[in-house]
């Protein structure tokens, strides 16, 4: 079975809606308490993976596919995302050596593909165009447009992503038979690889790369582990494949490895918010004023909503409207992608990346616009409507929504708290999700609490015994009508209004059983049974703990009548026995046989009976 880039381990997911709250497009379906990703709706931003407290949302591990590619192809090249600068800060040369040690023939920067994309976008922006353009660099944004804003599909720049352009460039340079593995911070690049075979062949995250290196015994801080023969021999997958993965001999730092076919320039800033914009037309100031760089998926979705609305109303032709939008799903840019580790704080990542780009430009004095000289592959690409049958915006009739809200216990608008406990922004959105089969009524915390309270209230009201629940200060939290009939002047079934008035009163106003309750609050026994006398009544009481040291309860049963009946029966039985014993004594005396022994035996029986009678009358009271 092949998994999508993000999937759910159902056995590990139970009764938690954090992923629903985190998902910006609500592509999570809750069924029988388990929350699963609906891939037709998913934009693969990775928010659910980060939010899941039990790690039931998982990223597909593509390291085995990359190993297989190295085995099957004569040469496999790495397309390394520009955010490697912050993920492996200060370890560029060690990283290149480590990648060679894994068996890659060469490492190239995805930023070279970004140079090609920027050149094409420059050409598009030079033309007079009434349609605002949206960058195709972020596959999550492309997914959001295709699935949720189909009216904006023609706004996506008709060129491949920097990764797609880079894969085409590598194949043009090194042959169509090569393999290409992308390594970067992005989960949705896996989907891009799935849908565009060979562009690249496999996409890995930085986390996967670190795990792969660890399995192979490669430590970027230990030069001894960066020698290819030793590292490859340590690869546990080599024996599984039945072969030895070979790679070129790695030289020491006096003969450093470098990126192929050359290093990138300003596009190393692509990993930052507005990094692409800074590379357009060599940083032309006039153009910068007509562009907008936005990062963070919620801000991106809000921006797409605004662009779609303005375009529908005709405002997109306004001079103030930007002509180009660089939208990145991760706040701050790709340097904070879901496939990154937390090696550096976001603010430090931005500083490190900017400093690296300035150092790179100082190192390479060539004009950045000359970077795309020579043969440039065609990177034209059309985007289209995808999976609309799975769109999260299925229409629902107003009467259906109102009916569902009523079923959820929210017929009264005042009951629609919009608390967000279910994961949805409003009760109305939650109702629509229930109609569409994406949510369950049990997800509403307030409704479930209300139902639970209703069941407790019904149980209390119908119990034939008196019931009271008190807090640690012996103040009444709840009670039933039978309790009031037993311990107050009320002789009828009290209604809810009267019962609510009792709440908060001291239990001592009705009866003093605080000493017994203190045993429940302070002791180790959760249930204690006692029989006590109260004036002319005998009460059997069961004390129980509800929440240790916070709440306790008591059940009251009046057993006075039963006790009196028992005493009467015992007295009548004693009188009958005494009379019968006298008759027996007379008969024995008249018979004259064993009279002494019989009298002794009968006297003993009387003593035992009287002793048992006393125990029955007073022992348990």
Do 240 and 330 lie in one domain? The reply is yes
Do 548 and 422 lie in one domain? The reply is no
Do 42 and 101 lie in one domain? The reply is no
Predicted pLDDT at 283: 55
Predicted pLDDT at 415: 81
| Cα angle, residue 554 at apex, residues 552 and 555 outer, rounded to 5° | 150
- Rounded to an integer, the average pLDDT of 387-391 is 45
Do 185 and 233 lie in one domain? The reply is yes
182 found inside a domain: yes
| Element (DSSP H or E) covering residue 541 | strand 537-547
CA distance linking residue 273 with residue 138, whole number of Å: 11
Least confident of 251-255, 333-337, 375-379, 502-506: 251-255
Q: pLDDT band at residue 537, thresholds of 50, 70 and 90?
A: confident
128 or 388: which leads in pLDDT: 128
Q: Provide the CATH number for the domain around residue 47.
A: 3.30.70.20
Quote the percentage of the chain above a pLDDT of 90.
Answer: 40
Least confident of 72-86, 406-420, 440-454: 440-454
CA distance linking residue 44 with residue 600, whole number of Å: 96
Beta strand spans in 377-459 (E): none
For the stretch 91-125, pLDDT in tens is: 999 999 999 999 999 999 999 999 999 999 988 88
580 found inside a domain: yes
- Rounded to an integer, the average pLDDT of 80-84 is 96
380 found inside a domain: no
**Domain final residue, candidates 428, 462, 496:** 462
Predicted pLDDT at 141: 97
Do 309 and 407 lie in one domain? The reply is no
Q: Is pLDDT above 90 for 78?
A: yes
Least confident of 48-62, 156-170, 377-391: 377-391
Q: What is the domain range of residue 585?
A: 562-618
Predicted pLDDT at 233: 37
**Domain final residue, candidates 60, 82, 107:** 60
Predicted pLDDT at 297: 96
* DSSP assignment of 14-42: -S--HHHHH-TT--EEEETTEEEE-TTT-
Do 111 and 238 lie in one domain? The reply is yes
Estimate the crossing angle of helix 139-148 against helix 188-195, to 10 degrees.
70
CA distance linking residue 70 with residue 178, whole number of Å: 10
Q: Is pLDDT above 90 for 500?
A: no
**Tokens for 593?**
């046989």
Tell me the CA distances in angstroms from 401 to 17, 228, 384, 410, 421, one per residue in order. 22, 63, 31, 11, 19
Estimate the crossing angle of helix 398-407 against helix 427-435, to 10 degrees.
100
Do 12 and 73 lie in one domain? The reply is no
Give phi and psi for 530, each to the nearest 5.
-140, 150
Do 90 and 100 lie in one domain? The reply is yes
**Domain final residue, candidates 430, 445, 462:** 462
Label residue 347 exposed, middle or buried (CB < 10 Å: 0-12, 13-18, 19+).
exposed
- Rounded to an integer, the average pLDDT of 314-327 is 75
Write the CB contacts of 94 (distance below 8 Å, at least 6 apart in sequence).
Answer: 88, 220, 221, 223, 226
577 or 530: which leads in pLDDT: 530
Label residue 367 exposed, middle or buried (CB < 10 Å: 0-12, 13-18, 19+).
exposed
Q: pLDDT band at residue 565, thresholds of 50, 70 and 90?
A: low
Do 421 and 489 lie in one domain? The reply is no
383 found inside a domain: no
Predicted pLDDT at 202: 97
378 found inside a domain: no
Q: pLDDT band at residue 611, thresholds of 50, 70 and 90?
A: low
382 found inside a domain: no
Q: Provide the CATH number for the domain around residue 477.
A: 3.30.450.20
Nearest to 200 by CA among 233, 161, 227: 161
Do 115 and 220 lie in one domain? The reply is yes
Do 293 and 328 lie in one domain? The reply is yes
Question: Considering its fold, how many domains does the chain have in total?
Answer: 5
pTM above 0.85, yes or no: no
For the stretch 182-241, pLDDT in tens is: 999 999 999 999 999 999 999 999 999 999 999 999 999 888 887 654 333 334 333 323
Do 259 and 353 lie in one domain? The reply is yes
């Amino acid at each position: 079975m092949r998994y999508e880039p993000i999937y759910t381990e159902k056995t590990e997911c139970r009764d938690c809606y954090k992923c629903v709250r985190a998902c910006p497009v609500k592509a999570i379906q809750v069924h029988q308490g388990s929350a699963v990703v609906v891939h037709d709706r998913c934009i693969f931003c990775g928010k659910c993976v980060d939010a899941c407290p039990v790690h039931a949302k998982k990223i597909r591990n593509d390291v085995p596919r990359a190993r297989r590619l190295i085995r099957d192809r004569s040469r496999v090249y790495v397309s390394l995302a520009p955010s490697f600068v912050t993920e492996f800060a200060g370890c560029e040369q060690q990283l290149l050596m480590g990648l060679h040690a894994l068996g890659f023939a060469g490492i190239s920067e995805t930023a070279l593909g970004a140079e090609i994309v920027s050149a094409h976008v420059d050409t598009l922006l030079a033309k007079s165009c009434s349609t605002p353009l949206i960058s195709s660099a972020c596959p999550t944004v492309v997914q959001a447009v295709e699935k949720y804003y189909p009216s904006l599909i023609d706004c996506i720049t008709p060129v491949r992503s920097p990764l797609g352009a880079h894969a085409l460039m590598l194949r043009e340079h090194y042959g169509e038979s090569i393999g290409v593995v992308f390594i970067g911070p992005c989960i949705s690049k896996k989907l891009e690889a799935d849908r565009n075979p060979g562009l690249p062949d496999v996409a890995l995250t930085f986390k996967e790369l670190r795990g792969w290196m660890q399995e192979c015994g490669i430590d970027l801080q230990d030069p001894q582990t960066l020698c290819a023969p030793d590292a490859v021999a340590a690869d546990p997958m080599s024996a599984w494949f039945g072969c030895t993965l070979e790679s070129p001999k790695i030289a020491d730092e006096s003969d450093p490895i470098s990126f192929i076919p050359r290093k990138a320039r300003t596009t190393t800033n692509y990993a930052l918010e507005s990094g692409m914009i800074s590379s357009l037309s060599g940083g032309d100031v006039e153009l910068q004023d007509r562009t907008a760089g936005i990062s963070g998926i919620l801000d991106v979705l809000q921006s797409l909503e605004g662009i779609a609305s303005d375009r529908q109303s005709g405002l997109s032709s306004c001079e103030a409207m930007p002509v180009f939008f660089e939208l990145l799903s991760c706040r701050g840019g790709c340097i904070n992608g879901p496939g990154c580790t937390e090696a550096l704080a976001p603010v430090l990542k931005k500083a490190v990346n900017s400093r690296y780009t300035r150092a790179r430009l100082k190192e390479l004095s060539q004009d950045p616009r000359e970077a795309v000289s020579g043969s440039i592959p065609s990177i034209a690409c059309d985007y289209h409507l995808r999976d609309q049958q799975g769109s999260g915006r299925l229409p629902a009739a107003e009467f259906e929504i109102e009916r569902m809200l009523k079923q959820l216990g929210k017929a009264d608008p005042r009951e629609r708290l919009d608390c967000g406990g279910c994961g949805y922004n409003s009760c109305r959105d939650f109702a629509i999700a229930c109609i569409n089969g994406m949510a369950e009524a049990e997800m509403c915390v307030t409704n479930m609490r209300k139902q639970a309270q209703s069941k407790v209230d019904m149980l209390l009201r119908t119990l034939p015994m008196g019931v009271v629940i008190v807090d640690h200060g012996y103040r009444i939290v709840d009670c039933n009508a039978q309790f009031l009939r037993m311990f107050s002047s009320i002789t009828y079934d009290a209604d809810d209004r009267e019962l609510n008035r009792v709440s908060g009163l001291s239990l001592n106003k009705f009866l003093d059983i605080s000493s017994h309750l203190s045993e429940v609050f302070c002791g180790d026994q959760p249930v204690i049974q006692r029989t006590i006398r109260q004036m002319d009544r005998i009460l059997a009481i069961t004390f129980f703990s509800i929440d240790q040291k916070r709440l306790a309860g008591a059940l009251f049963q009046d057993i006075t009548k039963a006790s009196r009946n028992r005493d009467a029966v015992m007295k009548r039985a004693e009188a009958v026995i005494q009379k019968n014993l006298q008759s027996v004594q007379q008969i024995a005396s008249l018979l004259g046989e064993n009279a002494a022994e019989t009298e002794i035996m009968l006297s003993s029986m009387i003593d035992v009976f009287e002793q048992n009678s006393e125990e029955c009358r007073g022992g348990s009271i």
